[in-house]
Chain A
Amino acid sequence: MSTLTDLLQQVVEGIGSGAVYASLALALVLIHRFTGIVNFAQGELAMLSTYVAWQLMASGMPFWLALPVTLAVSFVGGMLVERLVIRPVQGAPELTVVIVTVGLFIFVNAAAGLIWSFTVKAFPQPFPDGGIDLAGVRMDWSTVGIIGVVAVVMGLLYLLFQHTSIGLVMRAVACNPESARLSGIRVSRVLMLGWGLAATVGAVSGVLVAPVLFLEPNMMGGVLIYAFAAATLGGFDSPVGAVVGGLFVGVAETLAGAYVDVIGPDLKVGVPLVIILAVLLVRPQGLFGRAAVERA
């Protein structure tokens, strides 16, 4: 294997894991755009969704039926979280809201452990074994599948936001909630919808990553760090940024693990932290984010 194909091989694998980070980052960005909240529990909600999928399949449902059911359950669950947990602290100081999402993180994690125990469960791989060979670069069907699913999710979100009236209403609320209310928009309902949507997108990341990481309550902890790095890099209010950031973090992590001896496979988890730190120092608003400048 030549150096170049080896490099390309690593990049492809990086994009595969990056797509998973991108989808969780997208969930983070959705909520941040709508509510200004960084939802530390996003990964745990995704983990919970993944358990729902596992439970459905354990009771005999085929994967491709369990998936839409799981996404629907996640959507409703996300809306309930907004209504029951977040809305009571709406308008409270930022720190209060952060603590509430951290509390939600711990609660969901413990609840999942209580219900399904902390033992690792195998999660079926929905994509066939094998793969394709592109000029010496091997692409597993699972990698192709992950990239494809995330691309479809992005496409659907784009259609929703840019080409439907509810999407327009959601963007208006994200942009200026007060003016939205003056135009007769029920903002609280739109915020619920935003949380439901984010939980759904997050659920996709959980279901995609579970066959690789195996299902257990702490499964999403590491992924959440990568997603934070992706969202920070792309800009916490830019969906496009979340995707670009996710792919970049995935590739950077894989390459660092493969080519930088000091880092290697053990230390590569440090890569997202370095990215977060570097972005915050150099360009705090991220690549695609808006700088926090108020126009008069």
Chain B
Amino acid sequence: MSGPPIDGTEAGETAERDFLKVSGLRAGYGQARVLHGLDFSVARGEVCAVLGPNGAGKTTTLRALCGMIRGRGSVTLNGAELLGRSPEQAARLGVAHVPEGRGTFNELTVEENLRIGAHLRTRGRWRGRGERAAVAADLERIYEYFPKLRQRSRQAAGSLSGGEQQMLAIGRALMLRPALLLLDEPSLGLAPLVTRELFEIVRTVNQEERTTVVVVEQNAQLALDIAHQAHVLEAGRLVLSGSAAQIREDGQVAEVYLGVPARSGQGG
């Protein structure tokens, strides 16, 4: 798989480690400040999980990253500043956001939804000779990840089940060939089995395409299973950061903040 479609040349080690670099990120809605200064980095090709209770600011974090709300501080993706950009500009820099509630185009067919995801790749400065063929190949690849979408390719997206819509939303985001994939509560409202399948696919995508992923989840265990790094967010501040293994092992913290049962006691 070729690299993400951004202007990256010789990237040093720091640039690899700080592929996404969030510094002093503050954001909110109107007068209400939700995030009080977040600092974290995500290395290129890694999955980063942001965990935390309801209302901690997980969704707000992703919205600030993709330009849906204004943020202060600094967020750079491969060196390019993301803050102060509109969602469409962020998308042009390779940020693909799968919002909470999936944001599918209900009246469009499944395949049309996927084609909209690749909208940027067939126009403007990205338009290359082989891009149309590449988009067709990617469509095929998405159908391989999500065979159910192939079966329903001509169906209106609104007629899909919740799990299928979530698959479609992720598939649409991948059609952008994103440098950074943002997933907001992918498990929301889905059956456990469907959620597990979905996370497996996200893991596969990350491994095969080296797509950098930030996933926000209430279901901490699932997210930690696929994450390299994890952060616990509480009331707009990061209270715990570390490798996914460290966070998982930190039984007490996990129990308090994530609702993950401690290893001894209730069991799994």
Interface residue SS majority, chain A: helix
- CB pair A168–B115 under 8 Å, yes or no, is yes
Which listed residue (B66, B92, B97, B105) contacts A172, Cβ 8 A?
A: B105
In the A-B complex, list the 8 residue pairs whose CB atoms are closest, starting with the nearest: A184-B91, A179-B103, A184-B120, A181-B87, A175-B105, A172-B116, A175-B107, A182-B97
- B176-A184 in contact (CB<8A): yes
Query: Do B104 and A183 touch across chains, with their CB atoms under 8 A apart?
Result: no
Query: Is A169 an interface residue, CB under 8 A from the partner?
Result: yes
**Are B112's CB and A182's CB within 8 A?**
no
Looking at B68, B87, B172, which has the most chain A CB atoms within 10 Å of its CB?
A: B87
B122 CB-CB contact with A under 8 Å: yes
Cα separation A156 to B92 with both chains bound (whole Å) = 31
Chain A positions 43 through 67: 1 when the CB is less than 8 Å from some CB of chain B, otherwise 0: 0000000000000000000000000
Do the beta carbons of B91 and A172 come within 8 Å of each other?
no
Between A and B, how many residue pairs show CB distances below 8 Å?
Answer: 71
- State A186–B90 Cα separation when bound (angstroms): 12
Output the least CB separation between B166 and chain A (Å).
13
The docked-state distance in angstroms from the alpha carbon of A267 to that of B129 is 63
A168 CB contacts on chain B under 8 angstroms: 108, 112, 115-116
Q: How far is the CB of A241 from chain B (nearest CB, A)?
A: 14
Cβ-based interface call for B117 (8 A): yes
> Is there a chain B Cβ closer than 8 Å to A171's Cβ?
yes
Residues on the A chain within 8 Å of B147, using CB? none
Chain A positions within 8 Å of B189 at CB level: 296
Contacts of A169 in B (CB 8 A): 116, 119
> Given the complex, which residues of B lie within 8 Å of A38, measured CB to CB?
none
Closest to A184 in B: B91
Query: B99 an interface residue at 8 Å Cβ cutoff?
Result: yes
* Interfacial residues, chain B to chain A (CB-CB below 8 A): 66, 68, 86-88, 91-92, 96-97, 99, 103-108, 112, 115-117, 119-120, 122-123, 158, 172, 176, 189
A187 is an interface residue with CB less than 8 A from chain B: yes
B107/A165 in contact, CB under 8 A: no
The residue in chain A whose Cβ has the minimal distance to the Cβ of B115 is A168
B108 contacts A171, CB within 8 Å?
Answer: yes
In the bound complex, residues from chain B placing their C-beta under 8 Å from that of A187 are: 88
Residue from A176, A180, A186, A296 in contact with B106 in the complex, judged by beta carbons closer than 8 Å: A176
Q: B6 to chain A: closest CB distance in Å?
A: 13
Q: Would you mind naming 26 contact pairs between A and B with Cβ atoms under 8 Å apart?
A: A168-B116, A169-B116, A171-B108, A172-B105, A172-B108, A172-B119, A176-B104, A176-B106, A178-B68, A178-B87, A178-B103, A179-B99, A179-B103, A179-B104, A181-B91, A182-B87, A182-B103, A183-B117, A183-B120, A183-B172, A184-B92, A184-B120, A184-B176, A185-B88, A187-B88, A295-B158
Partner of B86, one of A179, A180, A181, A295: A181
User: How long is the Cα–Cα vector from A183 to B171 in the complex, in angstroms?
Assistant: 12
Which of B68, B119, B122 is the one whose CB lies under 8 Å from A183?
B119
* A residues near B96, Cβ cutoff 8 Å: 182
Q: Write out the residue numbers on chain B whose beta carbons fall within 8 Å of the beta carbon of A172.
A: 105, 108, 112, 116, 119
- Cβ–Cβ contact A185 & B104, under 8 A: no
Q: Is the CB of B119 within 8 A of A184?
A: yes
The residue in chain B whose Cβ has the minimal distance to the Cβ of A179 is B103
B74 vs chain A, min Cβ distance (A): 22
Known: A179-B104, A184-B91. 10 other contacts (CB 8 A): A165-B115, A168-B112, A171-B105, A171-B107, A175-B108, A182-B68, A183-B91, A183-B117, A184-B120, A185-B119
Q: In the complex, which residues of chain B have a beta carbon less than 8 angstroms from the beta carbon of A181?
A: 86-88, 91
